[in-house]
Structures are given as structure tokens and as C-alpha cells.
Amino acid sequence: MRISILGIGSIGTLLGACLAQTDHEIHLHGRGERGAQVLLEGLQARGFDIDSYPSQRFLHSVEELPLPEELVGGSDIVMIACKAYDVVSLAPLAETLLKETGLAFTISNGLGHVQTLAQHIGQHRTLAATTTHGAYKESDGRVRWAGKGELHLASTSFGPSNASIEGLVQVLDSAGLSPVLKEDANEMVWGKVMLNLSINPLAALAGVKNGALLSPGLFDACMTIYREAAKVARLERITVVDEVGFEHRLRQVLEATSENSCSMLQDIKRGKATEIASLNQAIVRLAEGHGLEVPVNQLMTSLILACHP
């Protein structure tokens, strides 16, 4: 089986290093300095059960060079592990790489990615996915598997059957990625998005680690963002956790990741684009379609865009 991973940042590296422990053929697609580094040095990783793997363990492609002909139409599984704003540009590549009988998913943060991918490869080959695994790049350039979680998968309307997903689940399980099949794709994706949009912009704007959001004032602001988004979810006929359940879950996540700097804060510090368009800004757009005002999510969006358009 050939597995393609598009995007080799922290999470992409984690996926690649875990899957490199199996007997399957692993293809990595990168770009820029990071793509060149992996092409020359392979994946440098540590933590839990993973290690570093040399370049020769993988098939490679980089955005700046033509795609090798032998990669076209040869992938059984395509995983998109990029920033939210890059999903649009990588979805056509997934279509080029994927076999007719293959499956693909993206684990990027935010809303709309399942629809973007399905437009290119068809609903019947598209899965929804989220992950609770945590990874970050250390000062020496290696990627640290910082938090062992799960990889959640769900079929969508007119999507692949559970029977056709069994092979993928077995591969992920053998790689130690703890796959879990969920029944409701929308509920799964929105559940992760609600946490991201409640935590990331506030932590980024305040310039604090996640644990600081447990202070009463900032925690109340997180809950206000959630309440607005929950109203939009209900109008979209999406089932989301109730307020009591979300508050409990939010506290759990903030305590477990108290020393973490969220990705949006890291992006702003580095002068890079953020994922706000797929998070709070997506809520604003959906709310406008229902004639609903979500002023706190609008404020978060405006302030983050002022930091980096």
C-alpha cells in the first residue's frame, strides 16, 4: 500500500514517522526549505515510540519541481496535513495522486475542508478527520511527539462505507496513531473547531500560553465565543456539545496543554498567515447567511487580521 502525506510540518512529520514503522510505502510532499531538508535528511522526530528515519525510507516530491510520473495515480491513501489555507492548493494534487479506489482526508483545522477535498476527488473517496495528537518542532529542528491522542475518522453523506475504511483503520492502528471511527462527521469536525476558535485567537492576541486562559476574565471570553458559535451551529443543524459539557471539555484541554503556545500565536510571532479564515471568520460568514450577529467572533477575526492579513 502507498500512503501519501501532503505537508510535512509538525503533524505531517509525526504521521510520516509513525507510518515509517510499518511495511507500507510512504510518500512525502513538501515545499520550500522544509521540503528540501526532508528530501536530504529524512524525518527527524522523537517521543513515545517514534524515531528519525532517513530520506531513503520515503518517496519524495516537492512543490517546486514536476511531480514524478511514477507517483501519479498510485496512492491508496492521501493525508493532507497542512495549514488550513493550503488545503485548496493541495486538493488537486490529492486527486492526481489517488487511485480510483483510494481514500483521502485532511486533518487541517477549521471548517470547509471536507467539501473542498470532495470537489476534487468525489464524496465517495473523501473522509472527515480530526486529531488530538500533539506535536511541535524543537529548537534543534526535530519534531517532538508531545501528546499522544487519537486520530478520529468519519464518513460523510454519500461517502465511503465503514467496510471500505477498515483497511485504513488497520494501517493507522499498526502505526500507533490510535484511529477511532466516529458516526457523525459534522459533529466531529465542529467539536474540534469549537475548541480551536475559543482558544486560539484569544491566546494569540493576549500573547499567552493556553493555561493563562483559565483565568476568570479570559475563560469567560472563551465561553462567549463558544456561545455565539453554538448558535450558528444550531442554525446549520449541527449537533454540538451543550454549554456545561463544553465548559468541562475546555477546562480539560487548557489544563492538559497549559504550557503550550497555540499555533495561531506561533504564526503571529513568526509573521505568518493564520488559520482565522477557517475558524472564527468562517463562523462570521455562516452567521451572516442566517441574519445573525456574532460580534465577539467578528472582533476576534478583525484583530487577528490586523496582526496579519
pLDDT of amino acid 23: 95
Nearest to residue 129, comparing CAs of 101, 94, 97, 92?
A: 94
Grid coordinates standing for 59?
518517496
pLDDT of amino acid 157: 84
Question: Tens of pLDDT along 164-220?
Answer: 899 999 999 999 999 999 999 999 999 999 999 999 999 999 999 999 999 999 999
DSSP code string of 93-121: HHHHHEEEEEEEEE--SSSSHHHHHHHHH
Q: Say yes or no: do domains 2-183 and 187-307 share a fold.
A: no
The HSE-up count of residue 163 (CA atoms within 13 Å, CB side) is 0
Grid coordinates standing for 146?
508531545
Stretch 26-46: mean pLDDT? 95
Beta bridge partners of 155: 127
Contact 291, 261 (CB under 8 A): no
Stretch 25-50: mean pLDDT? 94
Percent residues over pLDDT 70 in the chain: 100
187-307, CATH topology level: N-(1-d-carboxylethyl)-l-norvaline Dehydrogenase; domain 2 (1.10.1040)
Give dist(CA 120, CA 150) in Å, integer: 27
Percent residues over pLDDT 90 in the chain: 87
Q: No. of H helices and E strands in the chain?
A: 11, 11
Per the listing, cell 485504513 goes with: 168
Give dist(CA 159, CA 153) in Å, integer: 12
In the chain, what are the domain boundaries?
A: 2-183, 187-307
pLDDT of amino acid 304: 96
Nearest to residue 106, comparing CAs of 84, 139, 81?
A: 81
Give dist(CA 170, CA 24) in Å, integer: 12
Angle at 193 (CA atoms; ends 155, 301), nearest 5 degrees: 140
Cα dihedral sign for 155, 150, 3, 162? negative
Give dist(CA 230, CA 19) in Å, integer: 36
Nearest to residue 84, comparing CAs of 40, 58, 114?
A: 114
2-183, CATH topology level: Rossmann fold (3.40.50)
Residue 37 has pLDDT above 80, yes or no: yes
Model confidence at 241, pLDDT cuts 50, 70, 90, reads: very high
